[in-house]
């Protein structure tokens, strides 16, 4: 039997859930590597590295591993290069995933409180949402540097719930990665994951979300009509 949800608030992750931002990130990573005199990585590698903020992405690009730590001097040289490139190209080739526009319209039609919770820095989050024409759908936008902690900490989710005056049990997190699942579990939120996002090549079903959907438009089939 399909699990159903009756939230008063829905929080949605950005990269890998709402937006495929890998093309812009790849351009910026590879431009950084070229300027450093190193070979570029290409989109396939970058696609496996995104999802934990741009600082971690730069560290992964420098080490070629998910958890490696580069020489601090290398990072200090590389990071400003990446920031300059990404600031210049953020949103140029990023696109909403299929079904996202329909899903957001569905939530708006239901009068739902909706927020965006991402680990991307605010200087990139807000311009990207604006460039893609969806910023107005969100009553709160919590970026990776908005609060002292970011996902997988539950703090951003609990902050949004407090902002809207909604209990965690009457909330829903929608994301694509184990970080989203961990944050939701820590905050006491139900969590739905999309099947197509950035989870480092792992099947998101193994993280144990309450449901998995192939498109944000499919959220309609999981929501009750009368709330909690």
76 part of the active site: no
Beta bridge mates, 5? 223
**Nearest one of 119, 148, 142 to 57, comparing CA atoms:** 119
Catalytic one among 13, 15, 20, 180? 13
Chain centroid offset of residue 176 CA: 7
- Placement of tokens 């949402």 in the chain: 129
- Contacts of residue 188, defined as CB under 8 A and 6 or more positions apart, other chains included, come to 154, 168, 169
- Comparing CA positions, the residue from 75, 76, 72 lying closest to residue 61 is 75
> Which residue pairs from 54-63 have beta carbons closer than 8 angstroms and sit at least 24 positions apart in sequence?
54/25, 54/82, 54/83, 54/86, 54/120, 54/121, 54/124, 55/79, 57/25, 57/29, 57/82, 58/29, 58/32, 58/82, 61/29, 61/32, 61/33
Give the span between the Cα atoms of 50 and 120, in whole angstroms: 10
Q: Which residues are annotated as catalytic? A: 13
């Amino acid at each position: 039997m399909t699990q159903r949800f009756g939230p008063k608030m829905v929080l949605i992750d950005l990269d890998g859930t709402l937006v495929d931002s890998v093309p812009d990130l790849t351009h910026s990573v590879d431009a950084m590597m070229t300027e450093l005199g190193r070979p570029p990585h290409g989109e396939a590698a970058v696609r496996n590295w995104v999802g934990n903020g741009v600082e971690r992405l730069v560290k992964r690009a420098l080490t070629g591993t998910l958890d490696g730590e580069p020489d601090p001097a290398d990072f200090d040289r590389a990071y400003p290069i990446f920031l300059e490139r990404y600031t210049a190209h953020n949103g140029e080739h990023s696109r909403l995933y299929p079904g996202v526009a329909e899903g957001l319209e569905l939530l708006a039609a239901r009068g739902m409180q909706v927020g965006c919770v991402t680990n991307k820095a605010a200087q990139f989050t807000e311009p990207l949402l604006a460039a893609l024409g969806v910023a107005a759908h969100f009553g709160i936008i919590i970026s990776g540097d908005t609060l002292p902690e970011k996902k997988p900490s539950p703090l951003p989710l609990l902050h949004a719930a407090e902002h809207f005056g909604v209990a965690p049990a009457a909330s829903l997190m929608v994301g694509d990665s184990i970080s989203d699942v961990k944050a939701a579990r820590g905050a006491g939120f139900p969590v739905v994951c999309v099947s197509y996002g950035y989870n480092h090549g792992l099947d998101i079903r193994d993280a144990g979300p309450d449901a998995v959907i192939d498109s944000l438009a499919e959220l309609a089939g999981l929501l009750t009509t009368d709330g909690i």
